[in-house]
């Protein structure tokens, strides 16, 4: 039997955001937008969903006079991401993992 995939991470954009954040200490909104190719509105909605789930922490502030949103993956987010990746590996191995 295949493991259940986390529906929150099964979204292409949310998975992309989590993948970026898993490899860095933190990332600002502009960097995430560039890395994912998402529109600002869609990225904002997906960041809110991940933050509500506790998978990422969002910090809003300013760089000079410009607003700046910075995101980082939380320990719960790391665990969810690692579990998701392990489940995908099991799917790819035909359930033999």
In a domain, 1, yes or no: no
In a domain, 66, yes or no: yes
Q: What pLDDT shows up at residue 30?
A: 96
Q: Are 30 and 21 in contact (CB under 8 A)?
A: no
Q: How many domains does the chain have?
A: 1
In a domain, 55, yes or no: yes
In a domain, 4, yes or no: no
**pTM of the full predicted structure?**
0.91
In a domain, 19, yes or no: yes
What residue numbers bound the domain in which 41 lies?
12-92
Q: Are 25 and 38 in contact (CB under 8 A)?
A: no
Q: What pLDDT shows up at residue 24?
A: 97
In a domain, 43, yes or no: yes
pLDDT higher at 66 or 96: 66
In a domain, 74, yes or no: yes
């Amino acid at each position: 039997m295949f493991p259940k995939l986390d529906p929150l991470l099964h979204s292409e954009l949310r998975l992309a955001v989590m993948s970026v954040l898993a490899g860095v200490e933190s990332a600002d909104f502009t960097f995430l937008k560039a890395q994912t190719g998402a529109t600002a509105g869609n990225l904002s909605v997906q960041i809110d969903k991940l933050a509500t789930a506790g998978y990422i922490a969002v910090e809003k502030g300013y760089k000079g006079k410009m607003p700046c949103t910075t995101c980082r993956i939380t320990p719960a987010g790391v665990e969810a991401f690692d579990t998701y990746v392990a489940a995908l590996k099991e799917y790819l191995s035909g359930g033999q993992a």
